[in-house]
């Protein structure tokens, strides 16, 4: 990943590199009930996912959730799109990183609903 590449690059340039874990990554939710409830009330058309880890958490949490097949996943990188695409889910990929590109990605979804 990115951290390892940065560390190797810095080491190659003569730097001493030490890793300090300053946070813990955990799945913030136990289930997808809130998302499913929003979908049932026609209040959920898309889910934005901006990391591979968040996508893994979402897919694990929603493994048997039918509603996930009816929403579009908007992601900011092709790598994040791979697994949900293999599962047959609808995925839109933003053309670049950042908020503006994600808004353009979401606007594609709105155009498809018109």
> Above 70 in pLDDT, residue 38?
yes
Query: Which residue has tokens 């493994």?
Result: 63
> Above 60 in pLDDT, residue 114?
no
Q: How confident is the model at residue 18 (pLDDT cuts 50, 70, 90)?
A: confident
- Which residue range(s) make up the domain with 68? 29-113
Q: Is residue 8 part of a domain?
A: no
Q: How many domains does the chain have?
A: 1
Mean pLDDT of 8-16: 92
Ranges of H-type helices in the chain: 2-12, 33-40, 52-61, 78-86, 99-113
Q: Is residue 10 part of a domain?
A: no
**Could you give the CA distance from residue 58 to residue 29 in angstroms, rounded to a whole number?**
9
> Above 70 in pLDDT, residue 19?
yes
Beta-carbon contacts of residue 7 (< 8 Å; ≥ 6 apart): 17, 19
At residue 73, the 3 state secondary structure works out as: strand
Q: Are 39 and 71 in contact (CB under 8 A)?
A: yes
Mean pLDDT of 95-110: 89
Cα-based angle 39, 74, 1 (whole degrees, multiple of 5): 130
pLDDT for res 1? 66
Q: Is residue 19 part of a domain?
A: no
Q: What is the pTM of this model?
A: 0.75
Q: Are 81 and 91 in contact (CB under 8 A)?
A: yes
Q: Is residue 55 part of a domain?
A: yes
Q: Is residue 108 part of a domain?
A: yes
The CATH number assigned to the domain holding 45 equals 3.40.50.10090
**Per residue in 40-98, pLDDT tens?**
999 999 999 999 999 999 999 998 889 999 999 999 999 999 999 999 999 999 998 88
């Amino acid at each position: 990943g990115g951290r390892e590449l940065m560390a190797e690059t810095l080491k190659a340039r003569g730097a001493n590199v030490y890793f300090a874990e300053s946070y813990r990554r955990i799945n913030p939710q136990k289930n997808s009930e809130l998302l499913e409830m929003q979908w049932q009330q026609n209040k959920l058309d898309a889910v934005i996912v901006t990391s591979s880890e968040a996508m893994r958490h979402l897919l694990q949490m929603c493994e048997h959730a039918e509603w996930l097949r009816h929403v579009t996943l908007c992601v900011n990188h092709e790598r994040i799109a791979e697994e949900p695409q293999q599962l047959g889910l609808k995925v839109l990929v933003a053309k670049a990183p950042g908020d503006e590109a994600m808004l353009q990605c979401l606007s594609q979804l709105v155009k498809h609903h018109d």
